Amino acid sequence: MNRSALLHQIKRKQSVLCLGLDPSLDKIPTHLLHKNSIEEAVYEFCMSIVLECQPHIVAVKPNFAFFESIGSRGIELLQKIIAHLPDDLFIIGDGKRGDIGNTSSAYAKAGFDILGCHALTINPFMGEDSVVPFLQHPDKWGVVLGLTSNHGANDFQMLEVEGRPLYLHVMTKVASWGTPENLMFVVGATRPALLKTIRTLFPDHFFLVPGIGAQGGDLEEVMQAGLNKDAGLLINASRAILYAGSDSDYAKKSKIEAQNLHQIMRNFL
Amino acid sequence: MNRSALLHQIKRKQSVLCLGLDPSLDKIPTHLLHKNSIEEAVYEFCMSIVLECQPHIVAVKPNFAFFESIGSRGIELLQKIIAHLPDDLFIIGDGKRGDIGNTSSAYAKAGFDILGCHALTINPFMGEDSVVPFLQHPDKWGVVLGLTSNHGANDFQMLEVEGRPLYLHVMTKVASWGTPENLMFVVGATRPALLKTIRTLFPDHFFLVPGIGAQGGDLEEVMQAGLNKDAGLLINASRAILYAGSDSDYAKKSKIEAQNLHQIMRNFL
């Protein structure tokens, strides 16, 4: 899905909500696990929530770790879920990969060609040859870590390098390897003042914003700080939506959560 | 495999050679691909080379990207290969993962419990909560990126922070989260002078050293610069060994390559 198709969905739905799929076996409703194989349970859990939330979301972000931790069938399951997602959703494969050139090329092949994601998250620590292979696929996107939402972001990303924090050096250099048509950045929701500064420095790029809900970020502050003329945000919620309920009406409960976030977004879009 | 078991293998074999498994479908011998399914071909390719090289190597490093890029059965294949590896080999799962705490925990579960690796490579860019979950598994290891072997290492790892390059800040902080019993560092072979300095600063940790052969690092220089009293190195070769031959005697050709590297190592051990 290219930029204009993504913008079309954002305009049509008046939403920038991304649903993070982090299916944790100790959190999904137990009645699903009792009835089915683990793979069937996770498939039903993810798909029923996606379909209930579909009017309120423009993107889905499967977190590869949770599929890998299910076992060897986890990736097959992930592939099946992605293949069955409604085609009005932008699909961000969240694996935070990054390695030397030939290996990043293999990760790009795995994520774009085999799994069918529209975008893949990337860790830029290894530099240019680790990032560029993800930016060479037509109508696909690399989503590179800038400033993350977790506490550990303070350890290295905030270190001062020549008077600026490291994450700004990273984002500035990475921005020179791609364009706002094939490159997004991850900018966490937990530091809205910094998000505002980052937006002034990178007016055109989409930002994928994790960290509202369970991690403490505030949606209204993020919308105020991060919107650009095209919206320019994809705001992720994972646990807050996925685990809103635990009984047979769990997907309806998820929908209500998504609807609430969507309503706040509408006020800004 | 804990530190004393690893040291025992190094002493017994007089080797610090690690065989990197990067099975690229466009490079493995074509007669294998003609005879079998892709999974069977890759299995036979990897296992026959491992078994031929077994007397010369102490570790095996499967690169997850190449298995993921085969498709949904790639991880199943990887799991099968790891299950069938001889038990005198230290197994390093090379995925360079790293994410917020609950996600890193899921990656650790996938790599240690599901795949059965002894060690997993980790990208530290997201800080403490992204690294520590890998260091909480008894007799397992986290192998954290310090200074990598690729050209892109210049982009961020070499940036100066308070008078020292970033990678030294990263290694110093990461070292405080683990011990030489559960934490190794990746230090590339392509900058032996820096490897020597790093060894003086971190006398006790194992270093996983990629970059000899195809990437240009010199084995003798690495041995001179990086050895400590316990050896303290695992030196990886992937393409140089894997693709030494392309005919039916490919595994014998790989063995000769491994033997040659082993011979150089013996002179230092």
**CATH code of the domain in which B88 resides:** 3.20.20.70
Q: Does B173 touch chain A (CB under 8 A)?
A: yes
Q: Does A129 touch chain B (CB under 8 A)?
A: yes
A42 band by pLDDT with thresholds 50, 70 and 90: very high
The nearest CA of chain A is from the CA of B87 a distance in Å of 21
CA distance B58 to B85: 12
Contact assessment for residue A113 and residue A94, using Cβ atoms and an 8 Å cutoff: no
Domain count, chain A: 1
Chain A (12-31) residues lying within 8 Å, Cβ to Cβ, of chain B: 22, 24
Taking alpha carbons only, the member of A253, A127, A135 closest to residue A205 is: A135
Q: Residue B75: its chain A contacts at CB < 8 A?
A: 68, 72, 74-75
Taking alpha carbons only, the member of A227, A253, A234, A182 closest to residue A20 is: A234
Global pTM value: 0.97
Q: With respect to residue A11, please indicate whether it lies within any of the assigned structural domains.
A: yes
Q: Residue A69: its chain B contacts at CB < 8 A?
A: 106-107, 109-110, 114
The nearest CA of chain A is from the CA of B183 a distance in Å of 18
Q: Residue B188: its chain A contacts at CB < 8 A?
A: none
Distance of CA B234 to the CA centre of its chain: 7
Please indicate whether, in this complex, the C-beta atoms of A156 and B148 are within 8 angstroms of each other.
no
Q: With respect to residue A14, please indicate whether it lies within any of the assigned structural domains.
A: yes
Q: With respect to residue A128, please indicate whether it lies within any of the assigned structural domains.
A: no
Q: What is the mean pLDDT of each run of 10 residues along chain B (269 residues)?
A: 97 98 95 89 97 98 97 91 98 98 97 98 98 98 97 97 96 98 96 96 98 85 96 96 96 98 96
Q: What is the ipTM of this complex?
A: 0.97
CA distance B123 to B149: 14
Q: What is the mean pLDDT of residues A167-188?
A: 98
Q: Is A96 in the active site?
A: yes
Mean pLDDT of chain A: 96
Q: Residue A150: its chain B contacts at CB < 8 A?
A: 100-101, 126-127, 129-130
Confidence (pLDDT) at B152: 97
Q: What is the mean pLDDT of residues A158-187?
A: 97
3-state secondary structure of B207: strand
3-state secondary structure of B187: strand
Looking at residue B168, what DSSP letter applies? H
Can you spell out the DSSP letters for chain A? --HHHHHHHHHHHT--EEEEE---TTTS-HHHHHHS-HHHHHHHHHHHHHHHHGGG-SEEEEBHHHHHTT-TTHHHHHHHHHHHS-TTSEEEEEEEE--SHHHHHHHHIIIIIIS--SEEEE-GGG-HHHHGGGG-STT-EEEEEEE-SSGGGGTTTT-EETTEEHHHHHHHHHHTTS-TTTEEEEE-TT-HHHHHHHHHHSSSSEEEE--BSTT-B-HHHHHHHH-BTTB-EEEEESHHHHTS--STTHHHHHHHHHHHHHHHHHTT-
Instruction: Identify the domain containing residue A236 by its residue range.
Output: 3-102+148-154+188-266
State both tokens at A150: 């977790």
Q: Which residue of A has its CA nearest to B150?
A: A100
Lowest mean pLDDT among A214-218, A236-240, B37-41, B121-125: A214-218
Q: With respect to residue A172, please indicate whether it lies within any of the assigned structural domains.
A: no
A215 band by pLDDT with thresholds 50, 70 and 90: confident
Q: With respect to residue A238, please indicate whether it lies within any of the assigned structural domains.
A: yes
State both tokens at B232: 């303290």
Q: What is the C-alpha end-to-end distance of chain A, expressed in Å?
A: 21
Q: With respect to residue A255, please indicate whether it lies within any of the assigned structural domains.
A: yes
